[in-house]
Amino acid sequence: MDNQTSQAIALQVLVWILQDDNRAERLIAVTGITPDDMRASLNEAWLLSAALSYLQGYEPDLIQCAKDIEIAPEHLMAAATILAQNIA
C-alpha cells in the first residue's frame, strides 16, 4: 500500500466518523482537533493519521467502519502505519 492509497482510505474513514454526531464528538474530545482544524487541514497527513488512530483506540468503531467502507481492518491499520511514518 502506498501513501496515496493510505490517504484515500483515511479520508474515507474521516468522512465515516463525521457522518455520526456521537463519533464526531468523540473524535474531537479524544484528539482535541477542532472543526476549524479539520477544514483547514483536510488533506494533511497528521489529520488523516489522527482519524485512523482514533479508530485504533476503539475496536467496535474500527470493525464497523471497515465493514461500512468495505475494506479489511488490517488495511486500515496498514494505512495508519504508513501515514504515521509520514508525519514523524
Query: Identity (one letter) of the amino acid at 35?
Result: P
pLDDT band at 6 (very low <50, low <70, confident <90, very high): very high
Instruction: Tell me the per-residue pLDDT of 13-49, one tens digit each, with 9 for 90 and over.
Output: 999 999 999 999 999 998 899 889 888 888 788 889 8
Nearest Cα to 73, choosing from 47, 52, 50?
Answer: 52
Residue 62 pLDDT > 70? yes
Sole residue written with cell 479539520: 38
Q: Say if residues 65 and 51 touch (Cβ distance below 8 Å).
A: no
Mean confidence (pLDDT) of the chain: 91
pLDDT of residue 44: 85
68, containing H or E segment: helix 59-68
Containing domain of residue 46, as a range?
3-87
Classify burial at 36, counting beta carbons within 10 Å of its beta carbon; exposed 0-12, middle 13-18, buried 19 or more: exposed
Query: What was the pLDDT predicted at 41?
Result: 86
The count of domains in the chain is 1
